[in-house]
Protein backbone atom coordinates (compact mmCIF):
# COMPACT_ATOMS: atom_id res chain seq x y z
CA UNK A 1 0.00 0.00 0.00
CA UNK A 2 1.17 3.45 -0.83
CA UNK A 3 0.51 6.48 1.31
CA UNK A 4 -0.03 10.12 0.49
CA UNK A 5 0.54 13.10 2.77
CA UNK A 6 -2.00 15.92 2.51
CA UNK A 7 -1.65 19.39 4.04
CA UNK A 8 -4.88 20.82 5.45
CA UNK A 9 -4.88 24.58 4.74
CA UNK A 10 -6.87 25.73 7.82
CA UNK A 11 -4.52 24.50 10.56
CA UNK A 12 -1.48 25.34 8.42
CA UNK A 13 -2.67 28.94 8.14
CA UNK A 14 -3.17 29.05 11.92
CA UNK A 15 0.41 27.79 12.36
CA UNK A 16 1.78 30.50 10.06
CA UNK A 17 -0.17 33.28 11.76
CA UNK A 18 0.82 32.01 15.21
CA UNK A 19 4.47 32.03 14.17
CA UNK A 20 4.15 35.61 12.93
CA UNK A 21 2.67 36.60 16.31
CA UNK A 22 5.42 34.67 18.14
CA UNK A 23 8.20 36.28 16.10
CA UNK A 24 6.84 39.79 16.50
CA UNK A 25 6.52 39.23 20.26
CA UNK A 26 10.08 37.94 20.59
CA UNK A 27 11.52 40.72 18.42
CA UNK A 28 9.61 43.34 20.42
CA UNK A 29 7.74 44.92 17.53
CA UNK A 30 4.34 43.95 18.95
CA UNK A 31 4.99 46.34 21.86
CA UNK A 32 3.80 49.14 19.56
CA UNK A 33 0.32 47.61 19.50
CA UNK A 34 -0.05 45.62 22.75
CA UNK A 35 1.28 47.00 26.03
CA UNK A 36 2.00 44.14 28.43
CA UNK A 37 1.77 44.58 32.19
CA UNK A 38 5.04 42.79 32.76
CA UNK A 39 7.73 40.60 31.28
CA UNK A 40 5.96 37.46 32.51
CA UNK A 41 2.83 38.35 30.54
CA UNK A 42 4.86 38.93 27.40
CA UNK A 43 6.65 35.60 27.84
CA UNK A 44 3.35 33.76 28.38
CA UNK A 45 1.90 35.42 25.26
CA UNK A 46 4.93 34.32 23.24
CA UNK A 47 4.68 30.78 24.66
CA UNK A 48 1.00 30.49 23.71
CA UNK A 49 1.79 31.73 20.20
CA UNK A 50 4.61 29.20 19.90
CA UNK A 51 2.30 26.46 21.16
CA UNK A 52 -0.24 27.45 18.50
CA UNK A 53 2.50 27.22 15.90
CA UNK A 54 3.60 23.74 16.95
CA UNK A 55 0.09 22.35 17.35
CA UNK A 56 -1.13 23.91 14.10
CA UNK A 57 1.81 22.45 12.20
CA UNK A 58 1.29 19.05 13.85
CA UNK A 59 -2.41 18.90 12.97
CA UNK A 60 -2.06 20.22 9.42
CA UNK A 61 -0.37 17.09 8.03
CA UNK A 62 -2.49 14.02 7.38
CA UNK A 63 -1.45 10.67 5.95
CA UNK A 64 -3.81 8.70 3.70
CA UNK A 65 -3.27 5.11 2.63
CA UNK A 66 -3.92 4.49 -1.06
CA UNK A 67 -5.02 0.99 -2.08
CA UNK A 68 -3.83 -0.17 -5.48
Domain locations in the chain as residue ranges: 2-66
Give the predicted TM-score (pTM) of the model.
0.85
CB 64 within 8 A of CB 3: yes
pLDDT along the chain (68 residues), means of 10: 89 96 95 93 96 96 84
Q: What is the reported pLDDT for 67?
A: 80
**What secondary structure letter does DSSP report for 33?**
T
Nearest CA among 63, 65, 66 for reference residue 8: 63
Question: Among positive and negative, which fits the CA dihedral 34, 37, 39, 44?
Answer: negative
3-state secondary structure of 67: coil
Amino acid sequence: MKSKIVIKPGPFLIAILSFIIFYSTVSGSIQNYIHFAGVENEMAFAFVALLGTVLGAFVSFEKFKIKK
